Amino acid sequence: MQTRVGFIGLGIMGKPMAKNLVKAGFSMVVHNRSRAAVDELAALGAKPAGSPKEVASQVDVIITMLPNSPDVERVALGRDGIKEGARSGQLFIDMSTINPVVSQSVAKELAPSGVAMVDAPVSGGEKGAIDAALSIMAGGEPQDFERALPLFQALGKTITHMGPLGTGGFTKLANQIIVGINLTAIGEALVFGTKAGVDPQKMIRALSGGLANSKCLEMKSEKILSGDFAPGFKIDLHFKDLNLIHDAAKSVGASIPMAALVEQVFAAMRAGGRGGFDHSGVITFFEDLARIQVRKAQ
């Protein structure tokens, strides 16, 4: 029998992910706070639902892609939530980036209902979601991961079972440390070179051929050079992740001085009204300090 899949959270990432599941042939039931995205999926053949409870009552597997820990807790455990519509044998896959401790807590609440859980946050941004090329890092029991794998294969290219529930979330937070520090370093370096009179386009070309190259430099250089900071992943969301990292680091006793520094830079971006920028827009923090714009210096 065909697996019936529920998808809750049709935002920048969730909508293209749900579309890819429809394209892969899964029977879909979808829910979102705003109706427009639901209607868009319904036009492709998905069935609309009025609440997470209504989604859960109709499907075998439930996927959530939500902004933060409280959102997942509310959708999973709150009024008209997944728990109220759940039944034994269902699988709940949370693909949001949240505090892994919250993932573990939600799983404990759902377990008496016979619902298994996998935490499977993703990396790759909006483009990766659209292209079904996400990196998926999953935590959960091996049999639950295997059950989720056909869905993951419709969404991503790099799919890794990290270990028990929560390890997917901790891996994603580690990813966000690297990405945040990398983008901040790229911004600082390009402004430094541009201020010294170096052509930023040539600088990126040169840096891309050496040890300073990175996926961030490859994927974000065009946005940086054009000054187009329409969000693939917002500063606001990365700042949220940095806060999660701060809390998670305290829970495991890890020191994160560089992530803490980047958190403050991103806080300054938000205070300056730039929280809606793509996270590559962190370069504007350094442009302001140096009183130069990389995109206009070419």
220 is catalytic: no
Residue 31, beta-bridge partner list: 8
- How far apart are the two ends of the chain, measured CA to CA in Å? 58
Q: Which residues contact 227 (CB under 8 A, 6 or more apart)?
A: 293, 295, 296
- 138 neighbors 166 (Cβ within 8 angstroms): no
Q: Which residues contact 220 (CB under 8 A, 6 or more apart)?
A: 183, 186, 278, 280
Could you tell me the two tokens for 178?
A: 């690297």
39 — phi, psi (to 5°)? Answer: -60, -40
Could you tell me the two tokens for 17?
A: 């992910």
Considering 15, 53, 83, 172, which one is annotated as catalytic? 172
Q: How many CA atoms lie within 13 A of 74 on its CB side?
A: 11
Catalytically annotated residues: 172
